[in-house]
Amino acid sequence: MSHLLIVDDEAKIREVIREYALYGGYEVSEAADGTEAVSLCAERDFDLIIMDIMMPRMDGFTACQEIFKTKKIPVIMLSARGEEYDKLFGFTLGIDDYVTKPFSPKELMARVKAVLSRRAPEMPALPEAQRFGGLEINEAARTVSVDGAKVELTPKEYDLLFYLLRNRGLALSREKLLADVWDYDYLGDDRTVDTHVKNLRNALGPYRDSIVTVRGVGYKFEPEA
């Protein structure tokens, strides 16, 4: 789970970003100014920082300069000002993206995901086919077979099954599944995930128990060997 640091002197803005980030399956910490952000970064590592520019005690640009002395953490800069100079200066410092206030939280989370995806190492390709008894899943060909019979799934059901397969054995929250499988083009609710899991289980027939419900969390893919 990626850990985000939200830095803004306006508590309401931090609250809005925090709610969307938690919904997206991220861990969240907060800082009310640049000085606090620098201290938190000295204490622990973060996967990405959302940093406001205009703050008391220490502004966002200065905070980034201090943090970058010891750590290279991706930064998305927030600002009520959209001047080209500010953007160019931020990119010169080494920030990854720049968002002008007022902003769409949905768009901001999409940018967070894009930055993290660029920074993340590529996942190794799965072998052509994965077999679990009579269940065969071929991600490259986008096919699924049950006891030799091909199973027809919807595109999103394929995406969900392949995602569960790639994260085999890991408990995945509904929020994480919504964020990563449906992306931020769709902000659904828990019932969306539950419905697709129900359809997948029905399609897998005798192997329906390969998709395990993790009480209070979500689901994981744990087929019998």
Q: What is the pLDDT of residues 103-129, one digit of tens each?
A: 999 999 999 988 888 766 555 556 678
Range 204-214 average pLDDT: 96
Range 68-83 average pLDDT: 87
User: Is the confidence at residue 13, as pLDDT, over 90?
Assistant: yes
Share of the chain above pLDDT 90, in %: 60
Q: Count of residues for the chain?
A: 225
DSSP-assigned letter for residue 140? T
Q: Is 132 helix (H, G, I), strand (E, B) or coil?
A: strand
How many whole angstroms separate alpha carbon 94 and alpha carbon 111? 16
Range 39-45 average pLDDT: 94
Q: Is 173 helix (H, G, I), strand (E, B) or coil?
A: strand
- Average pLDDT, rounded, for the chain: 88
Contact 49, 5 (CB under 8 A): yes
Residue 76: count other Cβ atoms within 10 Å of its Cβ: 20
How many whole angstroms separate alpha carbon 37 and alpha carbon 180? 28
Sketch out the chain's domains with CATH numbers. Answer: 3-119 (3.40.50.2300), 130-221 (1.10.10.10)
Q: Is 87 helix (H, G, I), strand (E, B) or coil?
A: helix
DSSP-assigned letter for residue 221? E
**Predicted pLDDT at 185:** 46
Q: What is the pLDDT of residues 53-75, one digit of tens each?
A: 999 989 999 999 999 999 889 99
